[in-house]
Amino acid sequence: MKNDLIDYVSTDTHDMPGREPCMAQCYDALVKEYGEDTARALTNDNAEELFD
């Protein structure tokens, strides 16, 4: 994060009943450490740019 090397935060969940994602906890931790704008960019906004 310090060197601006992270563009996305995601999960590799393939089997929902056996491996549920913990993205809400991840998002909350990102907000606490880096703020709402950065958390939203890393978990949502930046990934949407892949499809533009």
Domain range list for the chain: 1-52
> Predicted confidence band at 41 (pLDDT cuts at 50, 70, 90)?
very high
Assess whether pLDDT exceeds 90 at residue 42. Answer: yes
Q: How much is the CA Rg of the chain, to the nearest whole Å? A: 12
State the pLDDT at residue 43.
92
Q: What pTM, to 2 d.p., does this model score? A: 0.75
- Measured between alpha carbons, how far is 17 from 14 in angstroms, rounded to an integer? 9
What does the pLDDT read at residue 12?
Answer: 79
pLDDT of residue 50: 79
Give 11-39 pLDDT, tens digit per residue: 877 666 777 778 899 999 999 999 999 99
What does the alpha-carbon distance between residue 24 and residue 45 come to, in Å, rounded to a whole number? 16
Contact present, 2 and 40 (Cβ < 8 Å): no
